[in-house]
Amino acid sequence: MKVAIIVFPGTNCEMDSQYAYEKLGQETQLVWHKQTSLPEGVDLVLLPGGFSYGDYLRSAAIAKFSPIMKAVIKHAKSGGYVLGICNGFQMLLETKLLPGAMKRNANVHFISKYHHLKVESNNNQFLRHLNPGQIINIPIAHGEGNYFIDDEGLKSLKEHDQILLTYCDALGNPLNPNGSVGNIAGICNKQKNVFGLMPHPERAIEEILGSTDGLAMLEGFIA
């Protein structure tokens, strides 16, 4: 599989993402945001975490205007896989490739820690190696991870099986670190080829890091 990892000014998780996919034996290529096309034969476009353009205005508000994003949007709308992690998830919301919006954390503080997640659906390529109801432990690191969507939008997410992950404790009970509607930590589009989540699976790939739960997530795209 060929993975294109998009790099913006302020991105800080591109090397983690590259390391993770190369650990899984996949071909990766870093793509600078000013490029206007994706590498030929790309299977997965990964928008990594960080603080693109310093998160001025609001998270990812400027990144969506980068030249490469036209190619990313085209890739997504043609059915290609796109994964947005943290700031990358915010980009997918800003470009409307995913529904909803992101607000400041309810406690107005940056949060950085491991947090448990419950798998809500594995009816998709991303989480196909996990089981519904399974509890995993993945790091979160964000100041604007408070996912918001109105009641009608939330109803649509549920009807189309688009809620992927929710925040919980070790026993699976709801435990919301940032105020997200419905404890939502990750979603996908209706076509199930565009995925966004605030937690960082690329930071949970080795026991020395505290968890390997991220591997099962990332390898879901590998044929």
pLDDT digits (tens, 9 = 90+) for 96-144: 999 999 999 999 999 999 999 999 999 999 999 999 999 999 999 999 9
Q: Provide the phi-psi class of 108: left if phi over 0, else alpha when psi is between -120 and 50, else beta.
A: left
Q: Which of 86, 116, 168, 219 is catalytic?
A: 86
Q: Which of 14, 120, 144, 202 is catalytic?
A: 202
Per-residue model confidence (pLDDT) at position 52? 95
Domains within the chain, CATH numbers bracketed: 2-221 (3.40.50.880)
Per-residue model confidence (pLDDT) at position 56? 84
Active site residue 200: yes
What does DSSP assign to residue 64?
G
Apex 61 CA angle, 218 and 94, nearest 5: 55
Active site residue 33: no
**Which value, in Å, is the radius of gyration of the alpha carbons in the chain?**
16
Per-residue model confidence (pLDDT) at position 55? 86
Low-confidence ranges of the chain (pLDDT < 50): none
Gap between the Cα atoms of 195 and 79, Å rounded: 12
Active site residue 168: no
Gap between the Cα atoms of 48 and 154, Å rounded: 25
pTM over 0.75: yes
- List, as own/partner pairs, every contact residues 91-97 make where C-beta atoms lie below 8 angstroms and the sequence separation is at least 24, other chains included: 91/47, 91/52, 91/60, 91/63, 91/64, 92/47, 92/194, 92/196, 93/60, 93/196, 94/60, 94/61, 94/63, 94/64, 95/64, 95/69, 97/73, 97/189, 97/194
Per-residue model confidence (pLDDT) at position 223? 86
